Amino acid sequence: MKRARVAYSGAIHEALPDSIAGSIRLADGRVVAEDAVVWLPPFEVGTIIALGLNYADHAKELAFGAQDEPLVFLKGPGSLVGHRGQTRRPADVSFMHYECELAVVIGRPAKRVLRADAMAHVAGYTVANDYAIRDYLENWYRPNLRVKNRDGGTVLGPWLVDAADVAAPPQLELKTTVNGRVVQQGNTRDLVFDIAFLIEYLSAFMTLRPGDVILTGTPEGVSNIAVGDEVVCEIEGIGLLANTIVGDELFGR
């Protein structure tokens, strides 16, 4: 099952795909155009846990070797924006790039969970695009606040797909296009630290709760994007997540 959350006519609604192309069905039965709503992250988001360099090809692309343990960092709720939203590119930067990622949504509390039991704690999956600005990076291994906690710098959605509808472990194709041109491709089978490992690792020192989300990292192929670009991240069976890059003027900067 796929479901979304949208704002429409002064209220927040759960929404489902509809058979009419370009439309969605609200929980109250109304069918509305996809572009008539404001798309929100498709679930009530808790802690946002992000992985860096979790594809070997991406680590190699950035000139880093193998990791002994995951590179993990947290993100604030203000970093999130939904499908079809806008992400700001500051005028003073020279290199800002997309990161298409499979996002894993926790459905049951997880504390000291063994790897063999980890997937039972997954509610479902969605698509994330976690933008980074390399100009602001203190170094290429430890993301800092300005790189990874910028307002609207993480796009999430549009659909939450139930874990029962996705094979475990997921082996899904990822693809990013910029203005219709394919710029990034990969497959979640190539994760350095897979989902079950990450849940075991994280739950050993922090309790994962329903609504927490793990952004599992991005494959190689990152490139600079510009104001006006439309960036689309697509993950096989999960969905297509689109947003637009805008300049400072729309944010009063």
What's the token pair of residue 235? Answer: 């993950």
Domain 1-40 and domain 41-251 have a common topology? no
Tell me the pTM.
0.94
Q: What's the confidence (pLDDT) of residue 185? A: 95
Over its length of 253 residues, how does the chain's per-residue pLDDT go in tens digits? Answer: 999 999 999 999 999 999 999 999 999 999 999 999 999 999 999 999 999 889 876 545 655 556 778 989 999 999 999 999 999 999 999 999 999 999 999 999 999 999 999 999 999 999 999 999 988 887 655 667 888 889 999 999 999 999 999 998 889 999 999 999 999 999 999 999 999 999 999 999 999 999 999 999 999 999 999 999 999 999 999 999 999 999 998 876 6
The CATH class given to the 1-40 domain equals mainly beta
Give the separation between CA 209 and CA 111, rounded to whole angstroms. 9
For the domain spanning 41-251, the CATH number is 3.90.850.10
Q: What is the pLDDT of residue 2?
A: 97
Q: Measured between alpha carbons, how far is 9 from 35 in angstroms, rounded to an integer?
A: 13
The tokens for 159 are 């659909």
Query: Domain-by-domain residue ranges, the chain?
Result: 1-40, 41-251
Nearest Cα neighbor of 133 from 156, 152, 153, 151 is 153
**What CA–CA distance (Å, rounded) separates 245 from 253?**
15
Check if the beta carbon of residue 119 is closer than 8 Å to that of residue 168. Answer: yes
65, two tokens: 């070797």
Cβ neighbours of residue 117 closer than 8 Å, sequence gap 6 or more: none
Cα distances from 46 to residues 73, 149, 158, in angstroms, run 14, 15, 17
